[in-house]
Amino acid sequence: MPRVIVDQNKCIGCGTCIKVCPAGVYKIVQGKAHVVNPDACLVCRACITHCPVNAITLGPREYEPIRRLYE
């Protein structure tokens, strides 16, 4: 399960996530951003903040500890 997930229906292939990601997680393939290096993700959230169409979300693995805190 990748830490970051790109909604392929929302992504417009602007490349912003690639520019702001410090870990080389993304690559544009056929005009859309794809997670090609999920294990490198630092969960800095820069891509999520900068994506103009809110196409990026964190995968369930990252929410798990937060969810447990509130259960």
Which residues are at the interface with ligand SF4 (CB under 6 A)? 4, 6, 11-17, 20-23, 25, 33, 41-47, 51-53, 55-56
Please, what is the minimum distance in Å from the beta carbon of residue 68 to ligand SF4?
Answer: 21
Q: Which is nearer to ligand SF4, 49 or 71 (CB)?
A: 49
CA dihedral (11, 57, 48, 25) in degrees, to 10, reads -80
> Among residues 17, 20, 25, which one has the least CA distance to residue 51?
17
Quickly count: other Cβ atoms within 10 Å of residue 15's Cβ.
12
Please, what is the minimum distance in Å from the beta carbon of residue 70 to ligand SF4?
Answer: 22
